Amino acid sequence: MGGSFLLFSSFLLSIFACLRSFSLVYADANLTQPSFTPINRDLYHSRIIKFVHQGSSLAFPSVNDLIEQIKSLVHRHPDKFTVETIKAGNKGYRAEITVVTYCRSRKESDERSKFRILLSFGQHGRELITSELALRILSILSEEQFLTKMDRASINRALDNLVIKVVPMENLNGRKLVEAGDLCERRNGRGVDLNRNWSVDWGKKEKDYDPYEENPGSAAFSEPETQIMRKLAISFDPHLWVNVHSGMEALFMPYDHKNTTPDGLPSQQMRLLLEELNKVHCHKRCTIGSGGGSVGFVFLYFEAMMTCDSIMLLKYLAHGTATDYMYDVARVPMAFTFEIYGDDTASTKDCFKMFNPVDHTTFKGVVNDWSAAFFTIFKLLPHQLDVHTKAAVSNLEKWVSIDEYLDGYLMGRRNRYGKKMEVLEVGMQEIRTYFRLFLLSSVLLLFMFCSRISKSKGGRQIVSAMPL
């Protein structure tokens, strides 16, 4: 009894000691305070623009450097890449997203017969390392850079069967705020968390809801950025989606809004892929499971000793996320959220250090390790999703509205025909209005017709029952 009490006391003391030093993003802190660690300009792509204001010289960084480097990379390899900038806006707020498409053969007729991958980086402004990873992946795809221990011939055979769309910086406006000095900002340019603005379980708030961190917006898809990404997902119809973040090391699958994973074969396939990545690239240190069931506190006991290394995350429900939408609504067979880096020794106010490597060795290690992980995905995906699975998934009914379908159709046609589609889009907006009126009229007419038949049948029954 006494030994058990001492052991339990030691257990509690270890927990409290760890919690005192535990400083992940979910800890209670005022994230509006300035960061202690500035952006390392030697590691992260940005450009300093100087101007004079009231007699003093000021400087602020511009994010255009990274995007311009990516566009230059694409233009150097027109046989492999295409690039487009998609713009949207509402209520005076404008947003744009750059999308890079990689396809070795570049034959449009072959695109639908290949496995399609959609990758998004930089959804939260403060997570700069994710966009650096996007640049590294694109550089390797271009063959201007290479991974060590990579068999180029075998990876090229795998890439022949893939079409990859990369969004290197989903939250451009939020990133600009970060580079202007608000290093803790994760939301977009008008204060909405883009990973809470999707429709699956949108707007639900947990007890620990932080309005600064998790503002879901005025409605699902209220933000131009999420509107663009939704249209892109519907038009491209990917087999695999990865939303890349930082803050910890984890490989998450659905669901984020509840403490469960999907049932059946798709869930098994996703878990097998994540376990392989964890073993080969994370060296089994990454958390695996559903986002909603793997973020929180769980205490593991190793060899009768409690250490801070024994703590990992268990429960943190997030509502209105992109990955849940991709899996539940867009019916993407494999939908993931990757967390590629986190410094749990950093203060909650030291946002840049918490979410991004600050030294060259760590930076290089993160970018190289996770690039290798993505190329492992490129090689394994055709084996994880065979032809029969692909056909079955293609035949699944997608729970999308007529508006979503037409939006996806228009984006696909715009990608092919360019500005000529702008006039057609205006016409399609009118067609949508007329289509809704047609559906409403049809329902009303059907209701009136059924009511009339019902009354007629009732009248005939009464007449036949009368004695002659």
Q: Give pLDDT tens digits for 296-341.
A: 433 333 333 333 433 344 456 899 999 999 999 999 999 999 999 9
Does residue 277 carry a pLDDT above 90? Answer: yes
As a whole number, the mean pLDDT across the chain is: 79
- Return the higher-pLDDT residue of 25 and 223: 223
Which residues does 357 contact at the CB level (< 8 Å), separation at least 6?
43, 129, 341, 343, 363, 365, 366
Confidence of residue 402 (pLDDT cuts 50, 70, 90): low
Which pLDDT does position 243 carry in this prediction?
A: 98
Of the candidates 130, 176, 142, 380, the residue with the CA atom closest to the CA atom of residue 269: 380
Taking the C-alpha atoms of residue 373 and residue 7, their distance in angstroms, rounded to an integer, is 40
- Asked if 132 is an active-site residue, the reply is no
Phi-psi label, residue 359: left if phi above 0, alpha if psi -120 to 50, beta otherwise:
beta
Which pLDDT does position 458 carry in this prediction?
A: 56
Confidence of residue 404 (pLDDT cuts 50, 70, 90): low
Q: Give pLDDT tens digits for 79-106.
A: 999 999 999 999 999 999 999 999 987 6
Q: What is the dihedral of CA 314, 317, 321, 323, to 10 degrees?
A: 40
Taking the C-alpha atoms of residue 119 and residue 408, their distance in angstroms, rounded to an integer, is 17
- Return the higher-pLDDT residue of 221 and 20: 221
Which pLDDT does position 322 carry in this prediction?
A: 98
pTM of structure: 0.75
Does residue 217 carry a pLDDT above 60? Answer: yes
Taking the C-alpha atoms of residue 262 and residue 267, their distance in angstroms, rounded to an integer, is 5
Percentage of residues of the chain with pLDDT beyond 70: 69
Which pLDDT does position 430 carry in this prediction?
A: 58
Least confident of 186-190, 296-300, 345-349, 411-415: 296-300
Does residue 177 carry a pLDDT above 90? Answer: yes
Do you find a cis peptide bond into 255, omega within 30 degrees of 0?
yes
Contact 154, 120 (CB under 8 A): no
Which pLDDT does position 459 carry in this prediction?
A: 52
Q: Which of 132, 339, 397, 422 is catalytic?
A: 339
SS3 of the chain: helix, strand, coil, percent, to 5: 45, 15, 35
Which pLDDT does position 206 carry in this prediction?
A: 87
CATH topology of domain 47-305+312-393: Aminopeptidase (3.40.630)
Which pLDDT does position 414 carry in this prediction?
A: 46
Does residue 452 carry a pLDDT above 90? Answer: no
List the structure tokens of 55: 């007699």
Residue-wise DSSP of 242-260 = EEEE-SEEEEEES-SSSS-
Q: Give pLDDT tens digits for 43-86.
A: 999 754 444 445 554 555 566 589 999 999 999 999 999 999 99
Which pLDDT does position 382 carry in this prediction?
A: 87
Which pLDDT does position 46 carry in this prediction?
A: 78
Q: Give pLDDT tens digits for 181-216.
A: 999 999 999 999 999 999 999 999 888 888 889 999
Q: Give pLDDT tens digits for 417-448.
A: 444 444 444 455 556 666 777 877 888 888 88
Type of residue at 293: G
At CB < 8 A and 24+ separation, what contacts does 81-87 make?
Answer: 81/138, 81/141, 81/142, 82/106, 84/415, 86/228, 86/231, 86/232, 86/411, 87/224
Least confident of 285-289, 324-328, 391-395: 391-395
Taking the C-alpha atoms of residue 322 and residue 329, their distance in angstroms, rounded to an integer, is 10
- Return the higher-pLDDT residue of 301 and 24: 24
- Return the higher-pLDDT residue of 12 and 189: 189
